[in-house]
Amino acid sequence: SLALIHRTGVYRYNGPGYQPAFRRDSSFDSRWAGPDDHLHALTEDNQGNVWIVYGDRTEILSRSENGYQFSSPDALRLRNEGTAVVDVFVEDSGVAWIAYGDDVLRYDPVQERSYDYYFQALVRRVSPLGERWNVFGGSSPAHTPGDEDGTRTARPTPRLVYDYNDLRFEVAAPSYNDPGRNEFQYFLERHDAEWSAWTSEPAVEYTNLREGAYTLRVRARNGQGYESTEAMYRFTVLPPWYRAWWAYLAYVSLFIAVAALSVHYRRMRRDNIKAQQQARELALERVVNERLTLVNDRLRQADLLKDQLLSNTSHELRTPITAILGFTSVLKDEAPQNLQEFLDIIEENGRRLMRTVTSMVDFARLQAGVIELNREPVEISREVEQVVSRLTHLARKRQLFFELVQPQDLVHAWLDKKCLERIVENLLSNAIKFTEEGGVTVRVSVDDDSVYVRVQDTGIGMNSDFMPDLFQAFKQESSGLTRTHEGSGLGLAITARLVELMDGEIDVKSSKGEGTVVTVSFPVFYVAQLERRAGARAVIRKSSA
Q: Please name which of 144, 117, 123 lies closest in space to residue 231, comparing C-alpha atoms.
A: 123
Question: CB-based contacts of 11: which residues, under 8 Å, 6+ apart?
Answer: 3, 4, 5, 22, 23, 24, 25
| Dihedral angle, C-alpha 339, 341, 347, 353, nearest 10 ° | -120
DSSP code for 67? E
Beta strands 439-446 and 401-406: pairing type? parallel
Look at residue 529 in the predicted model and tell me its pLDDT.
41
Q: How far apart are CA 119 and CA 172, in angstroms?
A: 11
Look at residue 155 in the predicted model and tell me its pLDDT.
64
Question: CB-based contacts of 265: which residues, under 8 Å, 6+ apart?
Answer: none
* pLDDT < 50 stretches in the chain: 140-153, 480-483, 528-545
Beta strands 96-100 and 85-90: pairing type? antiparallel
Look at residue 7 in the predicted model and tell me its pLDDT.
59
Strand ranges (E), 155-303? 159-160, 167-172, 183-188, 203-206, 212-221, 231-237
Amino acid, single-letter form, for residue 41: A
SS3 177: coil
CA-CA-CA-CA torsion sign (489, 492, 496, 502): positive
Asked if 236 and 157 count as a contact pair (C-beta separation under 8 A), the reply is yes
Helix axes 491-501, 340-368, angle to 10 degrees: 40
How many alpha carbons lie under 13 Å from residue 151 in its C-beta half-sphere? Answer: 4
Q: How far apart are CA 301 and CA 313, in angstroms?
A: 17
Asked if 412 and 383 count as a contact pair (C-beta separation under 8 A), the reply is no
Q: How far apart are CA 25 and CA 9, in angstroms?
A: 8
Q: How far apart are CA 68 and CA 66, in angstroms?
A: 7
Look at residue 366 in the predicted model and tell me its pLDDT.
66
Look at residue 146 in the predicted model and tell me its pLDDT.
38
Look at residue 152 in the predicted model and tell me its pLDDT.
43
Q: Please name which of 160, 121, 173, 128 lies closest in space to residue 142, comparing C-alpha atoms.
A: 121
Look at residue 521 in the predicted model and tell me its pLDDT.
92
Helix H or strand E segment including 50: strand 50-54
Q: How far apart are CA 267 and CA 263, in angstroms?
A: 6
Q: Please name which of 124, 216, 233, 214 lies closest in space to residue 171, comparing C-alpha atoms.
A: 124
Q: Please name which of 453, 422, 455, 471 lies closest in space to residue 521, comparing C-alpha atoms.
A: 453
pTM of the model: 0.39
Query: Apex CA 356: angle with CA 350 and CA 359, to 5°?
Result: 140
